Amino acid sequence: MSSILIAGASRGIGREFVRQLLEKGWRVLATARDQAGCAALAELGAEPFILDITDDRSIAALAAKLGSTPLDAVLANAGISGDQSMPMEAVTWAEMVRVMDTNTLGAVLLVAALKPNLLAGERRLALGMSSLMSSISSNNWGTQYCYRASKTALNAMWRSLADEWRVDAITCALLRPGFVKTDMTDHNDRGLDVDVSVAGMVRVIEQLALADTGRCIGFDGKDVPW
Ligand SMILES: NC(=O)c1ccc[n+]([C@@H]2O[C@H](COP(=O)([O-])OP(=O)(O)OC[C@H]3O[C@@H](n4cnc5c(N)ncnc54)[C@H](OP(=O)(O)O)[C@@H]3O)[C@@H](O)[C@H]2O)c1
């Protein structure tokens, strides 16, 4: 049975990953920020853990609770959009730090803290949740300063991680869910249904191998341009 830890699973894409992977027979460990979120995850059939990905003590506490539990995959899914419509003059230092802490630094520090668990697992997949907004070459309409920067930086750090961890046979891949109807997008009518997006990413995860390390792959199996 494959095992995965999904960070940020209380709702949206993370929660749907929990549902679909349980259905496929995976052992799913999943995190929420509070007890109510953990209780809901337990009801789905996941093993719940508390995690605030922006808090290094919370990451350390999770790692301590997991101990030597082997994990085939860690998915750093937790993310926030920040206020995406702000013109640059309105973006504050605090807002930039808040978005980068969650989307970039928390994700990288989480997989680093759980590296021993990945090494004890068989598939060794360190998965980050990227976005088309990370792509500099596709940015032809601007806006979303903090969110874009956070995901571009995530890609950059994941690529370095891929290089560093190749020797450990850990596959460091980034996923792109597409534009999905969740709280983050106010369930925008033009978005993909969350089950369709996640089913696509599950197919990608099932096929990942070390040869894919450093790639950013969409729910449709296509590489995301840098
Ligand atoms: N939806 C899209 O179209 C889209 C497109 C591209 C990429 N993505 C990425 O996909 C991921 C999931 O997005 P979503 O659409 O499912 O968003 P969502 O519905 O807003 O859910 C975000 C999840 O992240 C958790 N989270 C936020 N801050 C956290 C923190 N400090 N510590 C731990 N957990 C935290 C939330 O927990 P709480 O319930 O406690 O807030 C929630 O479970 C994000 O990384 C996002 O950037 C989404």
Give per-residue pLDDT as tens, 82-130.
988 889 999 999 999 999 999 999 999 999 999 999 999 999 999 999 9
The residue to mutate among 17, 31, 80, having the most atoms of ligand 1 within 8 angstroms of its beta carbon, is: 80
- Give the count of beta carbons closer than 10 Å to the beta carbon of residue 176: 25
Look up tokens 């679909």; give the residue.
20
Q: For 75, list phi and psi in degrees, rounded to 5.
A: -115, 110
Report the pLDDT value the prediction gives residue 49, as an integer from 0 to 100: 98
Has residue 80 been placed in a domain?
Answer: yes
The reported pTM is 0.98
Distances (CA, A) of 99 to 83, 148, 153, 154: 10, 10, 11, 11
Report the pLDDT value the prediction gives residue 199, as an integer from 0 to 100: 98
Report the pLDDT value the prediction gives residue 129, as an integer from 0 to 100: 98
Q: What is the 3-state secondary structure (H, E, C) of 153-187?
A: HHHHHHHHHHHHHHHHCCEEEEEECCCECCHHHCC
Distance 101 CA to ligand 1 centre (A): 13
Has residue 58 been placed in a domain?
Answer: yes
Report the pLDDT value the prediction gives residue 62, as an integer from 0 to 100: 98
Look up tokens 């494959």; give the residue.
2
Please tell me the residue having the least CA distance from ligand 1 atom 42.
Answer: 8
The average confidence (pLDDT) of the chain is 97
Has residue 158 been placed in a domain?
Answer: yes
Distance 201 CA to ligand 1 centre (A): 15
Distance 12 CA to ligand 1 centre (A): 7
Distance 11 CA to ligand 1 centre (A): 8
Report the pLDDT value the prediction gives residue 55, as an integer from 0 to 100: 98
Q: What percent of the chain has pLDDT over 90?
A: 97
Strand partners, 76: 7, 128
Has residue 97 been placed in a domain?
Answer: yes
Distance 170 CA to ligand 1 centre (A): 24
Residue 151, domain extent: 3-218
Has residue 43 been placed in a domain?
Answer: yes
Distances (CA, A) of 213 to 76, 77, 164, 173, 226: 16, 18, 11, 5, 15
Low-confidence ranges of the chain (pLDDT < 50): none
Report the pLDDT value the prediction gives residue 84, as an integer from 0 to 100: 85
Count of structural domains, the chain: 1
* Spatial CB neighbours of 137, under 8 Å, sequence gap ≥ 6: 225, 226
The residue to mutate among 49, 59, 77, 198, having the most atoms of ligand 1 within 8 angstroms of its beta carbon, is: 77
Has residue 224 been placed in a domain?
Answer: no
The enclosing domain of 147 has a CATH number of: 3.40.50.720
CB-CB contact of 69 with 117 (8 Å): yes
